[in-house]
Structure 1
Amino acid sequence: MMNMETKVYQFPHKKKRHSKFGVWIIITCIFLLIFYLVNTDIFIVKNIEVTGNYYLSEKDIISLAGISPGQNIFTINLDKIRTNLLENPHIKDIKIRRSLPNSIIIDIDERNVVAAVPYSGVYLQIDEDGVVIEVSKEYQDSSMPILSGLKVKNFYVGKKLDLENISEFNKSLAILKGLKENKMEDLISEVRILDGSISLISSTGLMIDFNVEKNIDYRLSFLKSVLLDLSSKNYKEGHIIVDDVGNIIYRPNQ
């Protein structure tokens, strides 16, 4: 008699087959959605909003951006617009975004001119970072201080000045930034670098020794009050010393 072992027979399951038809349906729907978004009039750009601009007009910025009328908002290359705009030396940075359904928002951070640097018969207009924004043949804006005494090796519009006396230049930039923040551009006509020292010349002709290393903004705000006081008393000539301790000394011309 044969020994029989217990054997279990499993019921065969039907193999699941992926529905190619279902996949094609999904792909087709995606393409139809993309086609609709690209071609519908709802997403045609109708409004371009520009903020933060002062020197450049809205028309200039839109032209520089290269946005054509009738473009679909989803086909606009924001990175390319950013690249186009940053080629202009007046623009320091930008933020750009889509605002559905039909608007593009461009927020501009412009470079502000803080001084004019005389060089080889022209004036290099620079911002607070030392970047050359424009080159002019004449000194055009009397409310913009002149920065003299720089040893310029070379320059390119849109780039920082190439100099020998970099340390004095950086100190001068801090002073120029402070002048702008304290609204003193009309009080100071020149920032002068000479033999490693920095002097300011007031719009009335006062000579000011300003070899300050720290708290420049505070020292300038204090100097502003002194200059206004001297002006009210009709003191237009003399010598002022601003020391690093915090004192301001005025000596009239002998």
Structure 2
Amino acid sequence: MGPGFLERALHRLISLLQFALLACLLICAGYQSHYIFFKALYFRIREIGVHGNQALSQREIVRLSGLELGDLFFKYNYAKVKERILSNPRVEDARVVVKSPNAIEIQIKERSPSFRLVNGRESYEVDHFGRILGTQQTVKRLPTVSGANPQKGAGGLQLESTQKALLALWVPILEKSPLKDYASINISSPYRVEVRWKDWLVYLADPTLFDRNVELMARALQEATDRAKVVNVIDLRFSNLVLKLSDASAAPAGDPPADGEDDGSPRPAASPEAREGVAAR
């Protein structure tokens, strides 16, 4: 065993000690990193704020988001968080803002209900595009939509496309007209949309004739009042304004025509007396 052997053995020992020291340093660094990123409170969510909500509660929005207090803020894909919030039909738009590793802010914009849809024992709020928002009653007085056939789709309960189109067509027109305070709208047929307005049943079909016929309607209603006649039906579907009249003592105003009765459709008349239900062009 010569001097060369001892020198090599000492060199190997020093190398082993250096390796052991480096391994200890790496273990300590790994532990510190684990503590900083997975244990330290600075990187954990301690506050979730919600702004812009009205019908939906803060708890419901946080539940939709999937965020949980105490979780690490970088655990979540915030684009997916936004998608989950938007899955609720009441939410029109949403933003998820990471204000700090401790604080997340959710900003939402809700859709406004325009109607109440009664389907069996359930009552739903519906926006003017025909989206069914849910059963929660957020507005006390809303027009009623009837004649609809809600169906279950990928996004939940929905109206048929033709019925949604009818609402999207007529609601803006009605809201800018004297009929804006209507009580209900029946969309079972595009050829006779029935609107309950005050004490009258109004039939609609052609938007291009609406403004002109509404102008005629005001004069015709005044004439009917002057003649002590009760108006039951106002038909705005044709180029002629059609009113269904009865004597004030014959029937209460506002009663819709029963099955088999005259629905107010225009027909030939031999004299002005026979044309009592028609306001001429």
What TM-score comes out, normalization by structure 1 length?
0.57
* Cα distance in 1 for residues equivalent to 2:80 and 2:157: 24
- What do the CA deviations read for 1:143-200 (whole angstroms, capped 9, x no partner)? 21111223x273359436353xx43541223333666x76999821101236522232
* Cα distance in 1 for residues equivalent to 2:173 and 2:166: 11
Unaligned runs of 5+ in 2: 1-28, 247-281
Counterpart mapping for 1:175-254 below 5 A: 175-176=170-171, 187-193=181-187, 195=189, 196-202=191-197, 204-213=198-207, 238=231, 240=234, 253-254=245-246
Matched, 1:148 2:142: no
Counterpart mapping for 1:163-182 below 5 A: 163=160, 166-176=161-171
Percent identity (aligned):
17
Counterpart mapping for 1:17-166 below 5 A: 36=36, 39-135=39-135, 143-150=141-148, 152=149, 154-155=151-152, 158-159=155-156, 161=158, 163=160, 166=161
Asked if the contact 2:97/2:106 (under 8 Å) is kept, the reply is yes
**How far off its partner does 1:51 sit?**
2.0
Q: Which stretch shifts more, 55-64 or 37-46?
A: 37-46
| Greater gyration radius | 2
Between Structure 1 and Structure 2, how many residues are aligned? 205
Unaligned runs of 5+ in 1: 1-28
**How far off its partner does 1:98 sit?**
1.0
Q: Indicate how the Cα distance of structure 1 residues 183 and 39 shifts in structure 2: closer, same or farther if over 3 A, else same.
A: farther
Asked if the contact 1:38/1:75 (under 8 Å) is kept, the reply is no
Provide the aligned C-alpha RMSD in A.
Answer: 4.7
Q: Which residue type is aligned with residue 200 of structure 1?
A: V
* Cα distance in 1 for residues equivalent to 2:52 and 2:122: 29
For 2:74, what is the secondary structure of its paired residue? coil
Asked if the contact 1:130/1:160 (under 8 Å) is kept, the reply is no
